């Protein structure tokens, strides 16, 4: 059981509504869109292991700069399942070269929150131009930083869009549901 | 006990002899240099975890190309101890971006064989020009590869040289002592 008294119709700070697979509007409350046949999925987020990274003195610029990390649609095809097919979406954090190994090992302890990075360096190899994020905010690399990419919870939004459901409601990028599980309960170390 | 019947005077394929800290000669047998007051140290090598990397389908170009990985003297200062002071030496393996996280996690299971990488990407940040290895062979990066750097057993050679011992004998880079411990006995997973 997660967040016993939570209400998914009101407790995210921002939602996106898609009709027939197309983005329709972004709202802060979905009570008027709710249907009794809707099913909700809660999936993990890299935010979960940020506390562990900060505790290990990893420099996280999006926290220092109070911004949302950039999110990119890649050219990596997800495994298809029935009507659901599409590319993997990733978030990027710039990490100091000397801290990349620590970041891999710490995030790898959180497989329910995307776990270890899926790609490190060479954004062009997965169809990404770092100067053109699809969501989130532009973040330029500084000297001695490497772009590190994690699977992102925005992926199912892109995939579901391809399946053209009548209605689909998601969190807006960067506006996830915050549960009542302490982050260390997901640490599988 | 390691390699019970081994003889460190003959069982490496190549040795380097240093006099007063300066390289004097490279030989394949050190019986004539041996002194009863010499003390030997055996330290780990990244070679130890290569089998585990290959078993995980990590592409290792120096194995494919039958070459010795490039080795570089960095600008990272080691912790000093008495007369012993000097820079860290690293080896470099080019790793596919999508395999870097696996490589970190697998090599990290072998802390007695240098363990996880100390630096990933951005060679210039640790004073390295990839086109100018100090030892080993030049290895250019291919598209979608990232340079991954590990602490290297050549480090004590550089450090001891600064301490000017009368005589010092080391393995020649790439010509390590092969023990009789199976590599998986060092896997701390």
User: Is the confidence at residue B99, as pLDDT, over 90?
Assistant: yes
Nearest to B120 among A116, A125, A146 (CB): A146
Region B113-123 average pLDDT: 96
Gap between the Cα atoms of B87 and B150, Å rounded = 14
**CB hemisphere CA count around B126 (13 angstroms):** 29
Residue A162 has pLDDT above 90, yes or no: no
pLDDT of residue A156: 86
* Confidence at residue A1, expressed as pLDDT on a 0 to 100 scale: 79
Query: Quick one: which of B182, B170, B147 has its CA closest to B42?
Result: B170
Q: Is the pLDDT of residue A46 over 90?
A: no
- Whether B95 shows a pLDDT value over 90: the answer reads yes
Interface mutation vs chain B, best among A121, A124, A128, A150, most B CBs within 10 Å? A121
Given CB atoms, is A98 within the 8 Å cutoff of chain B? yes
Chains A, B: CB contacts within 8 A come to 72
**pLDDT above 90: percentage of residues in chain B:** 77
The per-residue pLDDT for range A84-125, each reduced to its tens digit, is 999 999 999 999 999 999 999 999 999 999 999 999 999 999
pLDDT value of position A174: 79
| Percent of chain B residues past pLDDT 70, beyond the cut | 100
Q: Is B35 on the interface with A (CB under 8 A)?
A: no
pLDDT band at B160 (very low <50, low <70, confident <90, very high): confident
What pLDDT is stored for residue A119 in this prediction?
A: 98
Angle between helices B100-107 and A100-107 (to 10 degrees): 80
Distances in whole angstroms, Cα of residue A171 to Cα of each of A12, A154, A157? 7, 8, 9
Alpha helices by DSSP H, listed for B83-181, are 100-107, 155-163
Contacts with A120 from chain B: Cβ below 8 Å: 97, 100-101, 120-121, 146
Confidence at residue B140, expressed as pLDDT on a 0 to 100 scale: 93
Under an 8 A CB cutoff, do B118 and A100 touch? no
Q: What is the mean pLDDT of residues B140-144?
A: 93
pLDDT in tens, A124-143: 999 999 999 999 899 999 98
Asked whether the beta carbons of residue A125 and residue B144 sit closer than 8 angstroms, the reply is: yes
As a whole number of angstroms, the distance between CA B138 and CA B133 comes to 6
pLDDT at B161: 82
- pLDDT of A189 > 90? The answer is no
**pLDDT score at B10:** 95
Q: Is B143 on the interface with A (CB under 8 A)?
A: yes
State yes or no: pLDDT of A50 exceeds 90. Answer: yes
Q: What average pLDDT does range B181-188 have in this prediction?
A: 88
Query: Helix, strand, or coil here: A97?
Result: helix
Distance CA B146, CA B169 (A): 34
Q: Which residues of B touch A104 (CB under 8 A)?
A: 100-101, 104-105, 116
Place A185 in a pLDDT band, splitting at 50, 70 and 90: confident
**In this complex, is the C-beta atom of B75 within 8 Å of any C-beta atom belonging to chain A?**
no
- For position B68, what pLDDT does the model report? 87
Taking a C-beta distance cutoff of 8 angstroms, is the pair B79, B157 a contact?
no
Mutating which of A105, A111, A120, A143 best tests the B interface, going by the most B Cβ atoms within 10 A? A120
What is the pLDDT, as a whole number, of residue A10?
95
Asked if the Cβ–Cβ distance from B122 to A143 is below 8 Å, we say yes
Q: Which residues of A87-119 are buried (b: 16+ CB within 10 A; e: fewer)?
A: bbbbbbbbbbbbbbbbbbbbbbbbeebbbbbbb
Interval B66-94 mean pLDDT: 95
Give the three-state DSSP class for A51. Answer: helix
Best mutation site among A122, A124, A144, A149 for testing chain B: the one with the most B CBs within 10 Å?
A: A122
Report d(CA A33, CA A18) in Å as an integer.
Answer: 11
Residue with the bigger pLDDT between B79 and A189: it is B79
Q: With DSSP H G I counted as helix, E B as strand and the rest as coil, what are the percentages for chain B, rounded to 5?
A: 25, 25, 50
pLDDT in tens, B3-61: 889 999 999 999 999 999 899 999 999 999 999 999 999 988 888 999 999 999 999 99
Q: Closest by alpha carbon to B145, among B64, B40, B52, B26?
A: B64
Q: Is the pLDDT of residue B98 over 90?
A: yes
Judge whether residue B162 has pLDDT over 90: no
What's the pLDDT at B185? 87
Q: Is B62 on the interface with A (CB under 8 A)?
A: no
Residue B145 pLDDT greater than 90, yes or no? yes
User: With pLDDT > 70 as the criterion, what percentage of chain A qualifies?
Assistant: 100
pLDDT band of residue A38 (cuts 50, 70, 90) is very high
Put simply, the answer to whether B97 touches A121 (Cβ < 8 Å) is yes
- The average confidence (pLDDT) of chain A is 93
Instruction: Quote the minimal CA–CA distance from A121 to chain B in Å.
Output: 6
A63 and B CB contact within 8 Å: no
User: Distance, in angstroms, between B106 CA and closest chain A CA?
Assistant: 10
B118 contacts A101? CB cut-off 8 A:
yes
Which one has a higher pLDDT value, A128 or B68?
A: A128
Q: Sort strands A145-151 and A119-120 into parallel, antiparallel or unpaired.
A: antiparallel
CA distance A168 to chain B (A): 32
Interface mutation vs chain B, best among A75, A92, A101, A103, most B CBs within 10 Å: A101
């Amino acid at each position: 059981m997660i967040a016993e008294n939570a209400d998914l119709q009101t407790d995210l700070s921002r939602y996106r509504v898609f009709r027939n697979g197309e983005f329709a509007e972004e709202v802060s409350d979905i009570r008027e869109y709710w249907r009794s046949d809707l099913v909700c999925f809660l999936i993990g987020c890299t935010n979960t292991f940020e506390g562990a990274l900060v505790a290990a003195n990893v420099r996280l610029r999006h926290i220092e700069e109070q911004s949302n990390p950039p999110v990119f649609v890649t050219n990596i095809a997800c495994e298809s399942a029935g009507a659901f097919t599409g590319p993997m979406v990733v978030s990027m954090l710039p990490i100091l070269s000397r801290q990349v190994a620590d970041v891999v090992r710490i995030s790898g302890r959180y497989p329910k929150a995307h776990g270890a990075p899926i790609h490190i360096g060479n954004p062009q190899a997965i169809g990404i131009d770092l100067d053109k994020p699809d969501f989130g905010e532009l973040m330029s690399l500084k000297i001695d930083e490497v772009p590190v990419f994690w699977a992102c919870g925005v992926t199912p939004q892109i995939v579901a869009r391809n399946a053209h459901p009548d209605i689909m409601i998601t969190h807006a990028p960067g506006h996830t549901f915050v549960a009542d599980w302490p982050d260390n309960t997901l640490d599988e170390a």
